[in-house]
């Protein structure tokens, strides 16, 4: 009876270790990533099969598919070397760190993350949430964009989509 109980405890502990490791790896790899495609040396948006990452690293999506669907997935070496640096959420977080909204001046801190994601002002003056930017063009978009807080992004969107609802305080009557 004692032996059976000890074996059961060991099995439970082993299972907990395996599941714990899987969850830790899943948290590291989940979400969209950006890599430099070894074929054309341009950024590509990819997604890793995060659940199976501890067993075998492989892609489940790439912005260059289906045209390049049969590729050898050599970009996985870049992800394996530094998974955190490839994740778009980390790239965006790093870019926003210490930045202030180009419209109202408030600091875009971690408190604004969650459902109220900050945005960027594009060269055409439109704003777009960073999550709506394709992973393969995120880096080059951020290079030429200005940061904008969620509140100012929503105001900009309201003006753009429903100008009839907006009265500018300084506009002539
Ligand atoms: Zn703002």
Per residue in 71-97, pLDDT (tens digit) is 999 999 999 999 999 999 999 999 999
Q: Which residue has the higher pLDDT, 137 or 18?
A: 137
Quick check: helix, strand or coil at residue 97?
A: coil
Cα(97) to ligand 1 centroid in Å equals 15
- What sections of 58-127 are H helices per DSSP? 76-81, 83-86, 88-96
Quick check: helix, strand or coil at residue 145?
A: coil
What pLDDT was estimated at residue 111? 61
Cα(155) to ligand 1 centroid in Å equals 9
Give the Cα separation of 151 and 106 in Å (integer).
Answer: 10
Per residue in 100-123, pLDDT (tens digit) is 999 999 998 766 567 789 999 998
**Alpha-carbon dihedral angle through residues 22, 26, 27, 29, given to the nearest 10 degrees:** 140
Residues having C-beta closer than 5 Å to ion ligand 1: 101, 103-104, 149, 152
Per residue in 3-62, pLDDT (tens digit) is 788 888 888 888 888 778 778 878 888 889 999 999 999 999 999 998 888 788 999 999
Cα(145) to ligand 1 centroid in Å equals 14
Cα(12) to ligand 1 centroid in Å equals 51
Cα(77) to ligand 1 centroid in Å equals 39
What pLDDT was estimated at residue 173? 47
What pLDDT was estimated at residue 81? 93
Q: Name the DSSP class of 100.
A: B
Q: Name the DSSP class of 102.
A: T
User: Of 107, 106, 112, 103, which is closest to residue 130 (Cα–Cα)?
Assistant: 112
Q: Give mean pLDDT, residues 133-159.
A: 93
DSSP H or E stretch at residue 89:
helix 88-96
User: Of 99, 114, 115, 111, which is closest to residue 148 (Cα–Cα)?
Assistant: 99
User: Which pTM does this prediction carry?
Assistant: 0.80
């Amino acid at each position: 009876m004692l032996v059976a109980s000890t074996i059961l405890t060991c099995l439970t502990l082993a299972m907990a270790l395996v599941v714990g490791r899987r969850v830790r790896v899943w948290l590291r790899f989940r979400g969209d990533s950006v890599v430099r495609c070894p074929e054309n040396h341009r950024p590509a948006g990819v997604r890793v099969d995060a659940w199976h990452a501890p067993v075998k690293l492989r892609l489940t999506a790439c912005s260059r598919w289906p045209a390049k669907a049969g590729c050898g997935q050599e970009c996985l070496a870049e992800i394996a070397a530094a998974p955190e640096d490839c994740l778009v959420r980390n790239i965006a977080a790093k870019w926003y760190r210490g930045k202030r909204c180009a419209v109202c001046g408030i600091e875009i801190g971690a408190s604004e993350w969650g459902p109220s994601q900050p945005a960027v002002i594009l060269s055409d003056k439109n704003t777009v949430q960073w999550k709506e930017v394709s992973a393969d063009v995120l880096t080059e978009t951020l290079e030429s964009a200005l940061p904008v807080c969620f509140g100012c992004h929503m105001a900009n969107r309201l003006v753009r989509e429903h100008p009839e609802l907006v009265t500018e305080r300084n506009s002539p009557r």
